[in-house]
Structure 1
């Protein structure tokens, strides 16, 4: 079993002079591409409320949930928001469709007609008590208390100029996802995340469902109390000129109860065009649209999935 590094968000924010925690973060990014984030400031009760409300939503009749599917969403691409049923998404072509349920949302802005923006059609409180309310409250906390601090530290470590993160992530593009992995068989096939970084909030279950590819093996990553899991994405690997790792991972859930997972996929502003120190370019909108096509249209998988055997 791998023991991922623990990085304290509180120490990152307070470590402007000694920089010890940022050096620990650099090593974690270079060696693992994954780490636990502790002292992150998100109230435990807020996470629990979102998990409980999500479980109630997924317990609704299938016909009710499907009223909030991709076809009902007024965003582009439609696959960026709304409900997807079991066996609806393919993250690796060899594995086929994943036995998991999903609900996707993002930063809610009704007037924004750009790709991956706009407003999610969400069930109201009478139908799904607390679902929209708790998820949007959690989103607000993540966007204010966690994303800027982590992002600024990462930008500093890849030698970007002062203010780079604020300039290109104000606002960020956010993919917020709720996932239900069924008991004794829920999976998420091997893939990499294609964004900048991902924050994973999850239930503290004894089963080690999350697995990370490290040293030529799939290694289980246990849930630790009062921690988030952070992993780096392909965009950050490119922006670091491959110094930082976007590490393959998968979920194999064999536990006796369903597992609720709450990942936040963080990208730059959708209009951003970035260039690494060695001149590697990234168009955020083109990269994100290619990934959606690879998952939902061509079936080639997510991120660098087709490179993973």
Structure 2
């Protein structure tokens, strides 16, 4: 297909898939079955945002035991979610050359990528292995600058307008959840607007990634859009395709397939929240499986601390998100994978 990057076009021609480097991970995904743990999905926690004051213990337990939950009554109009999905499909249907030229990988506001979900701060693909190691393509948008973005493509401009509205909801949800979590952790000082620690969740750092995972017909092998990993964020908010499954999360050493449910957001704890919670909350491992019959589009929002604010924890030596990100990118360049990021910052006895 002309719309797919050259490295992904084999998926539609029944050719052998590229080799995926899976160093350092604890499981062997190629042995998983399509129907593994389907019933276990029923146990995924569901949090009602409109009743959050009555679900504090349920939210706290979800973050401790899963690091992951479904969010209902989130206040995002269903029409907006549907428009985002429809417009994303139009963007991805453009020719590969058109998509590549639309951003050229040089914009800090928007970029187009494929073959890897790892990007530098300038939006260029970051990989230490083959460019086609992951079966994915996508667009990345910096929400702090999205209002000023002036794309030349009508499809990108239409999506930008939707993102401006969507971003307001994402900021509201992320802030509401973060406030509730730090209260549960008795870290209310992180919310003090007069404190130097007031930017542990900075909505100006918000980033939206729009992913397209192509289908792979007539394949007897398990193929991966994104290998298992944790997010580096404080929180991640996912709107996934409401018809096509693919997302899996690791729970009690089992992979749980997260079935799509319309008008339901997926929230997961990231590395920064795990560090802030002294490992009380879990930055969950997750991955994306390629569907044999249908392509899948998902839209994920990642929000981080201010880059220079120090993360202080009894489990890890003090570090900033900028330092954490630099270490992750160094690991990807050297190994092709995100080595478990927090393990790079162990607290020594001499650390205060």
What TM-score comes out, normalization by structure 2 length?
A: 0.72
SS at match of 2:263: coil
Indicate conservation of the 8 Å contact 1:53/1:129, yes or no: no
Choose 170-179 or 56-65, whichever is displaced more: 170-179
Distance 2:142 2:192 in 1: 19
Distance 2:156 2:316 in 1: 48
Larger Rg: 2
Indicate conservation of the 8 Å contact 1:7/1:24, yes or no: yes
Give how far 1:263 is off. Answer: 0.5
Query: Is 2:114 the counterpart of 1:82?
Result: no
Distance 1:228 1:303, change over 3 A: farther
Indicate conservation of the 8 Å contact 1:239/1:277, yes or no: no
Residue correspondences, number: 285
SS at match of 2:133: coil
Indicate conservation of the 8 Å contact 1:108/1:119, yes or no: no
Indicate conservation of the 8 Å contact 1:92/1:190, yes or no: no
Tell me which residue corresponds to 2:49. 9
Give how far 1:213 is off. Answer: 1.0
Query: Is 2:85 the counterpart of 1:48?
Result: no
Tell me which residue corresponds to 1:136. 164
Give how far 1:150 is off. Answer: 0.8
SS at match of 1:188: strand
Extract unaligned runs of 5+ from structure 1: 111-117
- Among 248, 251, 254, the residue aligned to 2:285: 248
Distance 1:286 1:219 in 2: 32
Give how far 1:62 is off. Answer: 1.0
- Among 54, 58, 61, the residue aligned to 2:92: 58
Choose 251-260 or 273-282, whichever is displaced more: 273-282
Question: Alpha-carbon deviations, 1:149-191, whole Å to 9, x = none?
Answer: 0111111122212552762135441121000011135611111
- Among 222, 240, 263, the residue aligned to 2:300: 263
Over the aligned positions, Cα root-mean-square deviation in angstroms equals 3.0
- Among 291, 295, 306, the residue aligned to 2:328: 291
Indicate conservation of the 8 Å contact 2:63/2:282, yes or no: yes
SS at match of 2:102: coil
Query: Is 2:236 the counterpart of 1:195?
Result: no
Tell me which residue corresponds to 2:7. none
Distance 1:92 1:10 in 2: 44
Distance 1:306 1:161 in 2: 23
Distance 2:264 2:152 in 1: 29
SS at match of 1:256: coil
Question: Alpha-carbon deviations, 1:50-94, whole Å to 9, x = none?
Answer: 111111111111111111345331x3xxxx840013467588979
Give how far 1:222 is off. Answer: 0.7
Distance 1:163 1:108, change over 3 A: closer
Tell me which residue corresponds to 1:276. 313
Query: Is 2:178 the counterpart of 1:151?
Result: yes
Question: Alpha-carbon deviations, 1:32-66, whole Å to 9, x = none?
Answer: 11100111001111111111111111111111111
Give how far 1:256 is off. Answer: 2.0
Tell me which residue corresponds to 1:174. 206
Give how far 1:132 is off. Answer: 1.7
Distance 1:129 1:120 in 2: 9
Give how far 1:255 is off. Answer: 4.6
Distance 1:286 1:175 in 2: 18
Distance 2:268 2:158 in 1: 28
